[in-house]
Structure 1
Amino acid sequence: MNSAVLSFKTTHPFDGTETGVRADSRDTWQTPGILAAIERACDRIAPVWPLQQFVAVNPFLGLSERSFGDACTFSARMGQGEMLMPASFYAEHYRSGRIEESDVRQALQLAGSSMSLEQCLSLLHEASGQDFGLTGKRWQTLAEHLDAMRGSQWSVLITEEISKWCAAYFDQGQSAWRMPWRGLPLYAAWRRAAAFDRTPELAGLSAFRQTINALPEEPIEAITQILTEMGLPSARLDDACHRQLLTVAGWSSWVCYKHWQTSPEKNQDALRQLLAIRLSYDYALISAVASRQDVETWRGHWQDAPLTDTDTGVALEVRHIMQSAYELATQRPLFEKLASALASTGPWQAQRKNLQAVFCIDVRSEIYRRALEMQSHTIETLGFAGFFGFPIEYIALGHHHGQPQCPVLLKPRFRIRESVTDADVGELRGILEKRWLRKRLNRLWKGFKNSAVSCFSYVEISGLSFAGKLLSDSLGLTRPVVKPGIAGLDKAIVHRIGPVITRQRGRLIAKGPVVETGIALGDRIELARKALQGMSLTDGFARLVLLCGHGSTAVNNPYAAGLDCGACGGHSGEANARVAAAVLNDREVRAGLAAQGLTIPKDTWFVAGLHDTTTDEVRLFDLEQIPHCFGEDLLLLQRWLNQASQLTRQERAPGLGLPRHDAAALMKAVTQRSRDWSQIRPEWGLAGNTAFIAAPRQRTYHFEFDGRVFLHNYDYRQDSDTAILSLIMSAPMVVASWINLQYYASTVDNRRFGSGNKALHNVVGTIGILEGNGGDLRTGLPWQSLHDGKTLRHEPVRLTVVIEAPAEMIEQVLANHAEVRQLVDNHWLHLTRIDPLDNHCYRYLQPQHWQAVTDSGKES
């Protein structure tokens, strides 16, 4: 170890002992201050899920202990990204009348600012002609400092190099040749690879391989040695480490995800290793490039100092106030609707319904729910989390493990396997063997096509035979690739596949381990009870109850999974809907529920469905299991769904640039759009989301929210112990906030929080995308998912949460859930409530302090 330090000192341009810390002391490797700084830096990184399991993530997750205003300053100074729009954006909305003077006054009041309205508007006018963000200097790595001083490109080189090695290390089957050191920890694998890589030396980092080889083999020891030699102030070590990780922010987020569901300790260990790699490059710059003066100047920038100068701080304050005013302007029409008096009659007051349809709270369901309710006054729709309260791992036919079908904040509790209805053991074995054979042949064929030896001869010999397929795919007549869930299966078999909910033991694949699948009766009863209570559906059951999940149809789109569901790991709600319906139709489950006082009528049947949010078609499942006595009800349901689908497509058509007058032509157009492999906007996803409402449906039934609101059914009168409200605020509300903040961040600073131009995307390792052929792993949403080429399709506003419940119940949940209280108290979302007694809206300011909102949306 001493030789490593001596080797460093022979080329180091300054003596590390100037800081008062002995660089060659083993004790410094265990310095609590350095270790704590590393942990704090790693805690600020938010995870990012792989493309196939895309999850909308709050990119500010690691900053949630700060107030939103403080985080805006910190993020900009750290170089993490801008969290506010430029001043010109707010000035334009003020000039157009979207933001009114009353909104600015109220924003100043809520912020506790001493600034007058006139001062704020004057400063806004001055700032609107300035640059996008802070004018002060950002904290920099040594590479960034050298680039700024000398006009070099060390930062780009380092990011490219780290990204290259991370892509090889984490590859999940895309590359034909795999890194030989993947079995080693990340830092160790990188050191082995770096011993053969001459790229840094060719770029000017002399003796790079020898320098890296001289570093300690353990990442913590390497980090500690490098930080000690750099001599940065101890008060800034966490920020310095954070800044290092942000130069490879995408890969930092990926590494954070890798162990998200294992243990925090392993999660931190993986990030430490990436941090050691990044610091090693600055270490090499000190040895080979930077002068003593360079290092001392850079170190001086990290000395304790105010984050911003006075002028910059005032400009940032103005933008923050105008962001709040912009959000108040967005809230105004919402509060005007919610404050309206309830209609004297409504579908909830009619006699027994013919249909109750439970949809996911996803904002895209809001339009379809209105269209369906228009078909008859005997229809009632409800909003509930799209996994329907069944946290399962769903194992597809012929697989030995499955994917989690629940929000990432939860863990699957049960394994559900697929099987073929009415198939005996022999037929099932034959189906599985045929599927495995087809999949193996497909892999071999794909390997042959992509092989370095055969790829050119393959094109020469077989190219013309694919002309017909290329033409039909290009015209949207066929799907370029088969859906993974049905690959290798005959069409007749696909319609017979379904979940098995009963408890079983057996092998899922030949020679595989014996595993338990299904759900025990006691658990099925408990899941059914909690699901119905969460839906506020414990009595007044209709003859048919539709459990309608949602999914999306898109091809040649790396973000296709993100259009399925932004919460449930990029999976559609089909599996959950089918499992939930099967459980709720189970006679034994119904008997168990009746024993607990929850009776489902004998003439009620639960039907599973899936809403395709691209084509707005609804597909029903397991129809052959529905008793014949529901035949007429089922025909009526299918007619209602067809009519609702037409209305929904017509409402969405203008936003997609499609004609809306011809139903048949519109259906054809959206279907072709879903199959078009050149389509960068198959649908708008959750763009435009602004609010989350937890209230009875009658509160929102009469209003159009234009697909911008998450609607969750909640009746506080059925929640005496606040258990349901606790679940709503700690799970669906938090998930909605994650989705909202991902869209928000990708809009305000797409370069750092988004993924840029979708047309330039290249998939890397099947885990993420690069914009172009290099650079950091990109996170967030592409610009085409937020902007239609002329205007923003997503307004950058924080989520407005509206709950109909007494203040005491909401405050009790906040008191019991620190993370939820943090979101509210630090203004990452706006919490309001509807008082069930006086029908007025109140804004949460602090415990036991709610401010009334008038009918015009302004505070009284």
Structure 2
Amino acid sequence: MITPEYLTSELSDQAAGHSSDASFQSAARTELLRAVDEACSRIPPLWPLRRFVAVNPFVGLGDFHFDKACALIRKVGRGELLMPAGFYLEQVEAGHVTPADIERAMHLRNSGERPESASELIDFLRRSAHASPSPVAAIETLADAIDRERGSEWAAFVVEEISKWCAAYFDQGQSSWTMPWRHLSLYAAWKRAAELDYNPEAAGIPGFRAAVATLPDEPWELIALAVDELDFSAGARTDFLHRELATIGGWSAYARFRVWESDMRGERDDALIHLLAIRLAWDVALNRVFRPKLTGRTFQPAQCAAEGSDLRIRVLMQLAYELADQRRLMRVLTSGSENHAAASPVPAPRKAAQAVFCIDVRSEVYRRALETVSRQVDTIGFAGFFGFPIEYVPLAHEHGEAHCPVLLSPGYRVRETLKDASVHELLKVYDRRWLHKRTSVIWKAFKQSAVSCFSYVEVSGLLYGLKLLTDSLGLTRPVLHPATAGVSPRHQERIGPTVTRQRGRLVRGGAVRETGIALSERVNLAQAALKGMGLTCDFARLVLLCGHASQTVNNPYGSALDCGACGGHSGEANARIAATILNDRDVRAALAAQGLRIPRDTWFVAGLHDTTTDEVRLFDLESVPHGHEADVAQLQSWLNLASRLARGERADLLGLGDLSSFDLSQAVEARCRDWSQVRPEWGLAGNRAFIAAPRERTRKLVLNGQAFLHEYSPEKDPGGAILELIMTAPLVVASWINLQYYASTVDNRLFGSGNKTLHNVVATLGVFEGNGGDLRTGLPWQSLHDGSRLVHEPLRLSAIIEAEEDAIERVIAKHESLRQLINNQWLHLFRIVPGGADVFRRRGPGNWVKETNWRFEA
């Protein structure tokens, strides 16, 4: 990631002060490069609010075993990867975790340490739960050391100042006035402003501006200077630099996102390096002012330890807690194994419909409801972008957003259009939308300008008072889909994607680049999608491709409730594009030539599942061929009934379980329009399992919306290509989601975003909790806790795959990041014998242990 040519001379000058040996100079330069690169790579990316997606907060710690990462987070982040001892004690006393679970956990760890009994561990928990927490020795920045010595709050002040600066520099249009140095690099702009900023001196750092003026002009020179001046051992550099970035973890994560995005484009962004330089510059300035006045122990930022018996016991109890949950999950999962194994070889009658849903855990509830309504419907689980990685360009826009998992780059650009429109009509729609956008910008500028703010309040205050009243009473206007903004009602139903190749055309503000997908590429995408779904034969007359989205207002985290597989967007565009391509006669003819025949009477229909209201909307029904009208009407009827069942199942968690079906429908509709609603839906709270298996394995199971369900039949994948795709994409994404929820639960201060009612959007990128501090990451507490109990339990993902051992091991051996995820126990991996009931747990490379009655065989 790092190739700074200009670092050479600075390090050479420093090395000359220690030794004239050229080999020392080279070693010093290499060591610093390595330390900075490793520290930066440990930072997870943070996607901006407009396309917020779940991110594994430990994505940069993959080469650490989970146990070691617990100690590292305590040392570097002053946070936790585990629940407190009292939590585990509650689980034991409630009977959720049994002594047998604890004994199994000790057997699984097999660490070679002194064996302990379950009763000894429980006694330790009781003592720890009622004892005052002992201080944790952690790495300190210089600001931390000064605060410990003098009782000051310089660490918080530094974070506040850097955060304020980053909000101004990275602002994406929220601020009315832009800073004058945005044309400079991040570090250069900060240095220019800091040389003029009197605030630190007013706060008590004399000579701050003069000190900044003497600092190097290049970030790498500053980093080298700081490493030398702060004087910590070379072996501790990585952890110390990690600690520096962790103090401004939110902005570090956003800078890491910029690096991630530029890497995906084959470009380079040094924002994270510059931010590290800014953070170190503050410590250098504080060092020059306060270091001579420190009377306590010498500042040694890396000579700290965070491991101990408390941590070791809690790691063991976390495993026992997860084993207890797996015991219950596996009993449910294998309860239908006999029926699955004894399935009749006689072909089943053709289904009336097949419905493909995203693997999102919320789909599990709806799929089960739909199959309950009618036995003539089969459901299939597949990634919600349906295998079409696109950049979707809205009508009258020049650029679009990626509608695919963030692990992928969009391979195709698809433009939104107005179907069957003349050039004159299309231009009228363009003009109307362009005018809508410009009016919105002008109105915002007027409201926020210094000269009009008081007159605006004088004139509009009463009108806004009326709006607040109606909003508070739930009488809000309908939530508009973004695609309909600035478009007349008679045109709204005709807006949709077009996959045919289109050359760039002039639009107000610029030219749209070439869009669409060539026929050969459409054929390849269609073939890959159908094989990934396991849908290569026995097609129904109707195949529903159902994406999903949420519907909320006044919710900065709204995109977190949308489809993660679509990059934090609605799955509508992907579903409609997939259906269009799979209905294409030319595509079908090419597929048939390759041996994949879709019956002539099979029609693909696009739909969208609103996860807030559980309604499903069907699209492009005017294109349904003659003879399928009754089929579509029947499907819509089944969907309406399934929506009622799904809403009823989710009602208790929303506190609406005592309402009638009609009142419940009205209530959830009101929730999604309520500007004060902090919990319009529960999102993916409760996720704990990923299952890749035939639907027959899970069809009759009640998994309570807690499992990602991906269709996979080993017999249809002799080469293992589909299994490889599942394990390296959907499984990894599910793990990212799971670990974000996990981290936000165990330490919301460090990994979450606190209280949603205190959120303030900053720079349109993220939120502050209150009026300042660091940019918050992760999930708000209201997405995890209902006020009396945790709705999301902190459990690492249990991944269960129905496949042969050799096939799974080949995939793991081929992909290092997946291997780290599994071998270092960031998730638990199981396999089920295809068509059978035997379950094996993976304990290490090639080491699979059969479990019988959920006790280990010798």
TM class by smaller structure: over 0.9
Cα deviation digits, residues 100-159 of structure 1 (max 9, x gap): 111101100111143222332332222222456x74411110100110111101001100
Q: Which residue of 2 aligns with 1:603?
A: 601
Q: Normalising by the residue count of structure 2, what TM-score does the alignment of the two structures yield?
A: 0.94
Q: Structure 1 residue 572: deviation in Å?
A: 1.1
Q: Which residue of 2 aligns with 1:237?
A: 237
* Worse-superposed segment, 531-540 or 26-35: 26-35
Task: Give the residue type in structure 2 aligned to 1:214.
Answer: T
Maintained 8 Å contact 1:363/1:707: yes
Q: Which residue of 2 aligns with 1:685?
A: 683
Q: Which residue of 2 aligns with 1:120?
A: 121
Match of 1:453 among 442, 447, 451: 451
Structure 1 pair 484–80 and aligned structure 2 pair: CA distance change class (3 A): farther
For 2:499 and 2:277, how far apart are their aligned partners in 1?
47
Maintained 8 Å contact 1:29/1:224: no
Cα deviation digits, residues 426-466 of structure 1 (max 9, x gap): 11011111111122122212211221111211121233234
1:419-568 superposed matches below 5 A = 419-479=417-477, 482-507=480-505, 509-510=507-508, 512-513=510-511, 515-568=513-566
Mind listing any 5+ residue stretches in structure 1 that lack a counterpart? Answer: 1-15
Q: Which residue of 2 aligns with 1:51?
A: 49
Q: Structure 1 residue 375: deviation in Å?
A: 1.3
1:742-757 superposed matches below 5 A = 742-757=740-755
Q: Which residue of 1 aligns with 2:326?
A: 331
Q: Which residue of 2 aligns with 1:659?
A: 657
Matched, 1:302 2:307: no
Q: Normalising by the residue count of structure 1, what TM-score does the alignment of the two structures yield?
A: 0.94
Maintained 8 Å contact 2:434/2:508: no
Q: Which residue of 2 aligns with 1:269?
A: 270
For 1:272 and 1:74, how far apart are their aligned partners in 2?
21
Structure 1 pair 47–21 and aligned structure 2 pair: CA distance change class (3 A): farther
Maintained 8 Å contact 2:784/2:791: yes
Cα deviation digits, residues 177-234 of structure 1 (max 9, x gap): 1011111110000011112111111111111111111111010001101211121111
* Worse-superposed segment, 834-843 or 622-631: 834-843
For 1:609 and 1:683, how far apart are their aligned partners in 2?
20
* Worse-superposed segment, 477-486 or 206-215: 477-486
For 1:463 and 1:803, how far apart are their aligned partners in 2?
59
Q: Which residue of 1 aligns with 2:168?
A: 168
Cα deviation digits, residues 792-831 of structure 1 (max 9, x gap): 0000000000000000100010011111011000000000
Cα deviation digits, residues 148-175 of structure 1 (max 9, x gap): 1111010011000000000000000000
Cα deviation digits, residues 261-280 of structure 1 (max 9, x gap): 22289767221111111111
1:673-752 superposed matches below 5 A = 673-752=671-750
Task: Give the residue type in structure 2 aligned to 1:563.
Answer: L
Q: Which residue of 2 aligns with 1:3?
A: none
Structure 1 pair 470–128 and aligned structure 2 pair: CA distance change class (3 A): closer
Cα deviation digits, residues 577-627 of structure 1 (max 9, x gap): 000000000000000000000000011000000000000000110010101
SS at match of 2:628: helix
Mind listing any 5+ residue stretches in structure 2 that lack a counterpart? Answer: 1-13
Task: Give the residue type in structure 1 aligned to 2:168.
Answer: A
Cα deviation digits, residues 318-362 of structure 1 (max 9, x gap): 100000000001111211122223425699963000010000000
Task: Give the residue type in structure 1 aligned to 2:220.
Answer: I
Cα deviation digits, residues 241-260 of structure 1 (max 9, x gap): 11111110000000010121
* Worse-superposed segment, 139-148 or 657-666: 657-666
Q: Structure 1 residue 293: deviation in Å?
A: 4.8
Q: Which residue of 1 aligns with 2:776?
A: 778
Alignment: residue pair count: 836
For 1:511 and 1:75, how far apart are their aligned partners in 2?
47
Task: Give the residue type in structure 2 aligned to 1:156.
Answer: A
* Worse-superposed segment, 757-766 or 221-230: 221-230
Structure 1 pair 239–19 and aligned structure 2 pair: CA distance change class (3 A): farther
Cα deviation digits, residues 378-426 of structure 1 (max 9, x gap): 1100000000000000111010110100000001000000111111111
For 2:376 and 2:857, how far apart are their aligned partners in 1?
38
For 2:102 and 2:368, how far apart are their aligned partners in 1?
34
For 1:432 and 1:676, how far apart are their aligned partners in 2?
31
Structure 1 pair 738–21 and aligned structure 2 pair: CA distance change class (3 A): farther
Q: Structure 1 residue 291: deviation in Å?
A: 1.9
Q: Which residue of 2 aligns with 1:13?
A: none
Match of 2:313 among 311, 318, 325: 318
Q: Structure 1 residue 286: deviation in Å?
A: 1.4
Cα deviation digits, residues 284-335 of structure 1 (max 9, x gap): 1111122265596112x534x6x24xxx511111100000000001111211
Maintained 8 Å contact 1:798/1:829: yes
Maintained 8 Å contact 1:695/1:803: yes
For 1:266 and 1:221, how far apart are their aligned partners in 2?
23
Task: Give the residue type in structure 2 aligned to 1:257.
Answer: F
Structure 1 pair 678–837 and aligned structure 2 pair: CA distance change class (3 A): closer
Task: Give the residue type in structure 2 aligned to 1:199.
Answer: N
Matched, 1:848 2:846: yes
Match of 1:767 among 759, 765, 768: 765
Task: Give the residue type in structure 2 aligned to 1:358.
Answer: V
For 2:293 and 2:679, how far apart are their aligned partners in 1?
52
* Worse-superposed segment, 546-555 or 490-499: 490-499
1:612-651 superposed matches below 5 A = 612-651=610-649
Q: Which residue of 2 aligns with 1:209?
A: 209
Q: Structure 1 residue 569: deviation in Å?
A: 2.1
Maintained 8 Å contact 2:16/2:25: no
* Worse-superposed segment, 236-245 or 664-673: 236-245
Maintained 8 Å contact 1:54/1:559: yes
For 1:832 and 1:328, how far apart are their aligned partners in 2?
12
Maintained 8 Å contact 1:260/1:267: no
Maintained 8 Å contact 1:398/1:508: no
Task: Give the residue type in structure 1 aligned to 2:328.
Answer: P
Structure 1 pair 262–502 and aligned structure 2 pair: CA distance change class (3 A): same
SS at match of 1:417: strand
Structure 1 pair 19–41 and aligned structure 2 pair: CA distance change class (3 A): farther
Task: Give the residue type in structure 1 aligned to 2:193.
Answer: A
Task: Give the residue type in structure 1 aligned to 2:423.
Answer: V
Maintained 8 Å contact 2:74/2:136: no
For 1:346 and 1:700, how far apart are their aligned partners in 2?
17
Maintained 8 Å contact 1:438/1:488: yes
Task: Give the residue type in structure 2 aligned to 1:593.
Answer: L
SS at match of 2:513: strand
Maintained 8 Å contact 1:547/1:606: yes
Maintained 8 Å contact 2:149/2:296: no
Q: CA RMSD in A?
A: 2.2
For 2:195 and 2:445, how far apart are their aligned partners in 1?
30
Maintained 8 Å contact 1:256/1:268: no
Structure 1 pair 19–292 and aligned structure 2 pair: CA distance change class (3 A): farther
Maintained 8 Å contact 2:474/2:673: yes
